[in-house]
RNA sequence: AGAGAGUUGGGUGAGUGGCUGAAACCAACAGUUUGCUAAACUGUCGUACGGGUUAAACUGUACCGGGGGUUCGAAUCCCCCACUCUCUGCCA
């Protein structure tokens, strides 16, 4: 969430940013936040003063009791009754103001970076780069949902039998392709200086709030009711939460972590014609990169993460494009997001395979993720993450783009991981 | 799942109603001494939110797992919850 001081010190900037997102009633909400904060401060000042008085009296009573002057002590004690009522009242007002402020701040999205284009929907996203060659396929080309049947490598019907729709079973070369991609992505990240993390894939409620999945996206996560645990929708949740309530030393920045996990998404109500086959699943595999940086470095880091993800796509020889998301299409918590899309040549569609975002202090504020430098001051760090990469759509594009009448030729870079070259 | 023990500052750990925001030790940081290192000595050494300041200094309040209660006063007493550890059971 935003800091009130951010709003106070840069009111015009925050307002303009929220308007770029088409955030309704921005002006009224910001004004309200400041008003509640003023109330919060004034009630705290009053409460603290009276509390100080009360503390002084208590000390005095203690001293008198020790001297055996119990008459005087009980005389003073009578005065405390009224003070207690006052404290209670101010305390209530103050904590209500705090709660109100927090509740309000939870509803305000992050302020977009200045480079974020205005716009309402995916239509307004800015295509900043296109790379790679879109293959010319032969007349009998098939979409991946046909190919996986033809070569018997991914089985949706079996998944339905043992679990339900959206839980595919990978078989034979299909399973090995999954494993090869995961290993390839992890090895690349290691070579780029990331430390590998293998986190739990169920998380508690605190972690859900830490990265912002709760309270907003509660219905999107699977929930194990007996133990009150959520199945993670992305490794971002457990990995970023490693740094919840942590004050890191400045010299340890940037922190670079990578993790492979399965991801679980209920995707309630978002099924339709465009989500056949591997395009949208309830369970899928993803390698995620996370960085915690000094605020001065986060945008440079974002560019490097974007370049890193593009490098993966180049090595996989997939045609891709990079979008800078517009204010209206960007995630709630992000300040700047690049989406990477690969071209899936049989579906003749661009598919989102990665989303790389800088959250600035928005997540760090919730997480209480801070760093301390030489000046001994603690301040909020910046957090970033990106998919590197999500497997299913990569698999879809690899299968479709490399198909021939005689089989599917797999990218060279995967051969040593696969132990075979084609399907 | 059953029984028991526990949760204090970066770490170990003392503390059963006022002298405790918290002993002591360790770690860390700064300085003195030293040819360097080490050792010794001295000092600093939690967080949050207020007030105050150009910024500091300074200052108030809260926080000893979380929440509530008793009391003039709670780390300390009472209640509820969460978590951790040990033993037993089960199990990859």
Q: How far is the CA of A217 from the C1' of B49 (A)?
A: 30
Q: What is the pLDDT of residue A74?
A: 80
User: Which nucleotide lies at the shortest CA–C1' distance from A80?
Assistant: B72
Strongest mean pLDDT among A56-70, A166-180, A261-275, A361-375: A166-180
* pLDDT confidence band for A344 (50 / 70 / 90): very high
Q: What is the pLDDT of residue A273?
A: 61
Q: How far is the CA of A46 from the C1' of B15 (A)?
A: 33
Q: What is the pLDDT of residue A217?
A: 80
Residue-wise pLDDT for A347-367, tens only, equals 999 999 999 999 999 999 988
Q: What is the pLDDT of residue A145?
A: 94
What's the CATH superfamily of A122-418? Answer: Bira Bifunctional Protein; Domain 2 (3.30.930.10)
**Residue A2: is its pLDDT beyond 70?**
yes
Angle CA A362–A287–A246, to nearest 5: 40
User: Strand B neighbours with CB under 7 A?
Assistant: A 4, 37, 40-41, 44-45, 47-49, 51-52, 54-55, 57-59, 61-62, 65, 77, 80-81, 84, 247, 370, 372, 378
Q: What is the pLDDT of residue A209?
A: 85
Compute CA distances A159 → A202, A233, A273, A291, whole Å. Answer: 21, 19, 20, 35
Range(s) within chain A of domains with CATH label 1.10.287.40: 4-106
Q: What is the pLDDT of residue A131?
A: 96
* pLDDT confidence band for A267 (50 / 70 / 90): confident
Q: What is the pLDDT of residue A226?
A: 79
**Residue A275: is its pLDDT beyond 80?**
no
Q: How far is the CA of A407 from the C1' of B43 (A)?
A: 76
d(CA A259, CA A287): 6
Residue-wise pLDDT for A129-151, tens only, equals 999 999 998 999 999 999 999 99
* Among A377, A380, A350, residue whose Cα is nearest residue A364: A380
* pLDDT confidence band for A69 (50 / 70 / 90): confident
Beta-bridged to residue A118, according to DSSP, are: none
- For strand B, which nucleotides have at least one atom less than 7 Å from a protein CB? 18, 47-51, 60-62, 72-73
**Residue A280: is its pLDDT beyond 70?**
yes
Q: What is the pLDDT of residue A356?
A: 97
Q: How far is the CA of A250 from the C1' of B45 (A)?
A: 18
d(CA A180, CA A174): 10
CB A360 within 8 A of CB A336: no
User: Which nucleotide lies at the shortest CA–C1' distance from A47?
Assistant: B61
Range(s) within chain A of domains with CATH label 3.30.930.10: 122-418
Q: What is the pLDDT of residue A82?
A: 87
Residue-wise pLDDT for A382-418, tens only, equals 999 999 999 999 999 999 999 999 999 999 999 999 9
d(CA A355, CA A332): 13
Percentage of chain A beyond pLDDT 70 is: 98
Residue-wise pLDDT for A10-56, tens only, equals 999 999 999 999 999 999 999 999 999 999 999 999 999 999 999 99
CATH classification code of A4-106: 1.10.287.40
Residue-wise pLDDT for A177-218, tens only, equals 999 999 999 999 999 999 999 999 999 888 888 888 877 787
Report the complex ipTM.
Answer: 0.86
């Amino acid at each position: 969430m935003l800091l009130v001081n951010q709003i106070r010190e840069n009111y015009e900037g925050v307002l303009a940013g929220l308007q770029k997102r088409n955030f309704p009633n921005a002006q009224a909400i910001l004004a309200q936040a400041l008003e509640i904060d003023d109330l919060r401060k004034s009630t705290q000042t009053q409460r603290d003063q009276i509390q100080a008085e009360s503390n002084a009296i208590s000390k005095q009573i203690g001293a008198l009791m020790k001297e055996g002057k119990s008459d005087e002590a009980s005389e003073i004690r009578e005065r405390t009754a009224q003070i207690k009522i006052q404290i209670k009242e101010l305390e209530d007002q103050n904590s209500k103001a705090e709660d109100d402020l927090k509740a309000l701040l939870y509803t305000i999205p992050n302020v977009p970076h200045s480079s974020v284009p205005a716009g309402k929907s995916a239509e307004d996203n800015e295509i900043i780069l296109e790379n790679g060659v879109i293959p010319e396929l032969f007349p009998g080309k098939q979409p991946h949902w046909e190919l996986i049947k033809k070569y018997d490598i991914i089985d949706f019907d079996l998944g339905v039998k043992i679990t339900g729709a959206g839980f595919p079973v990978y078989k034979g070369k299909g399973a090995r392709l999954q494993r090869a991609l995961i290993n390839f992505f992890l090895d690349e990240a290691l070579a780029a200086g990331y430390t590998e993390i293998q986190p739990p894939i169920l998380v508690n409620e605190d972690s859900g709030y830490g990265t912002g999945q709760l309270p907003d996206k509660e219905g999107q996560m699977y929930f194990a009711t007996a133990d009150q645990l959520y199945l993670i929708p992305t490794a971002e949740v457990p990995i970023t939460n490693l740094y919840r309530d942590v004050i890191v030393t400045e010299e340890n920045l940037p922190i670079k972590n990578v993790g492979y996990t399965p991801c679980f998404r209920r995707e309630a109500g978002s099924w339709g014609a465009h989500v056949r086959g591997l395009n949208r699943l309830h369970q899928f595999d993803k390698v995620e990169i996370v960085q915690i940086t000094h605020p001065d470095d986060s945008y440079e880091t974002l560019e490097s993460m974007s370049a890193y993800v593009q490098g993966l796509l180049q090595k996989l020889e997939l045609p891709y494009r990079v979008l800078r998301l517009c204010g209206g299409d960007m995630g709630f918590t992000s300040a700047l997001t690049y989406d990477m899309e690969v071209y899936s040549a049989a579906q003749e569609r661009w598919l989102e395979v990665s989303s790389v975002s800088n959250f600035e202090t928005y997540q760090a504020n919730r997480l209480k993720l801070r760093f301390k430098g030489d000046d001994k001051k603690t301040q909020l760090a910046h957090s970033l993450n990106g998919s590197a990469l999500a497997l299913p759509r990569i698999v879809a594009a690899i299968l479709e783009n490399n198909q021939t009448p005689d089989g599917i030729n797999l990218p060279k870079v995967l051969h040593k991981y696969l132990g075979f070259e084609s399907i």
